């Protein structure tokens, strides 16, 4: 099992479940390039996709505010068909470029955490979580 990011609360874990099943527990604040590529390859091979909220480019600022307010259920994906000539002219504004960059990094981080959670459940850690639930 891999824990990516810091959980809100400390979790108690039955060590015997890990030891007897020869399981591993690891953690990382972020995944590196190699891990990201492995995750993308795995998802491609097993036809795994995530739920997304498709937004027009005109709503990027609104989406960014929603991220700051933790009002996000799915990952934001910008509909590139919504790009217009006026938006391309605005792209030269450094503030917009910085905010768009921060939004993209946030989206990638959410996506990585989501996919790694799916991978954990697919790789057979259900028995560890079952044991974990019974110890509470």
DSSP line for 8-52: SS-----HHHHHHTT---EEESS--HHHHHHHHHHHHHTT----E
pLDDT, tens only, 95-120: 666 777 788 888 888 888 888 777 76
What integer pLDDT is reported at residue 45 of this predicted model? 93
* 61's tokens: 């600022």
What integer pLDDT is reported at residue 127 of this predicted model? 52
Mean pLDDT of the chain: 76
Q: Which residues of the chain have pLDDT under 70?
A: 1, 4-7, 30-31, 84-97, 120-136
Q: Give the domain range for residue 111.
A: 2-135
- pTM value surpassing 0.75: no
Please give the tally of structural domains in the chain.
1
* 109's tokens: 């981080």
């Amino acid at each position: 099992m891999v824990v990516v990011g810091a959980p809100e609360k400390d979790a108690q874990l039955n060590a015997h479940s890990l030891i007897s099943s020869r399981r591993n527990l690891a953690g990382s604040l972020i995944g590196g390039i190699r891990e990201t590529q492995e995750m993308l390859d795995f998802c491609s091979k097993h036809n795994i996709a995530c739920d997304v909220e498709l937004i027009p480019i005109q709503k990027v600022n609104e989406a960014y505010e929603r991220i700051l307010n933790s009002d996000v259920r799915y990952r934001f994906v910008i509909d590139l068909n919504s790009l217009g000539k006026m938006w391309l002219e605005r792209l030269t504004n450094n503030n917009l470029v910085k905010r768009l960059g921060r939004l993209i990094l946030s989206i990638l981080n959410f996506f990585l955490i989501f996919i790694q959670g799916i991978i954990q459940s697919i790789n057979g850690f259900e028995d560890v979580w079952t044991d974990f639930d019974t110890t509470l």
